Amino acid sequence: MPSVALPLLDALKALLCPLVKEAVAEALKEQKSSELPAYPEKVNVDQASEITSYSKNSLYQMHSKGKVPGAQKVGGKLVFDTATLRKWVENGGNAA
């Protein structure tokens, strides 16, 4: 490597290392602040079970009694609105 390139690489390293460290630290901080995993706007019963901590069978039973807000049948499958489920859980499972 030519002798000119080494000082340039050292200068770039000095500039980039702090930026990379800062970006990684910020990404880790954001990850920690997000306690719940990200889900799409609508989720299936498996994902709803993870969000609510109710079993799939419990969700099916509660849905049949009209006790789960944001649940609907789409193409014969039960789907749930993620935001509504989270509000429901925050309210202790009471109507959102």
Place 2 in a pLDDT band, splitting at 50, 70 and 90: low
The reported pTM is 0.57
**Residue 36: pLDDT band by 50, 70, 90 thresholds?**
low
For β-strands 42-43 and 77-81, DSSP reports them as: antiparallel
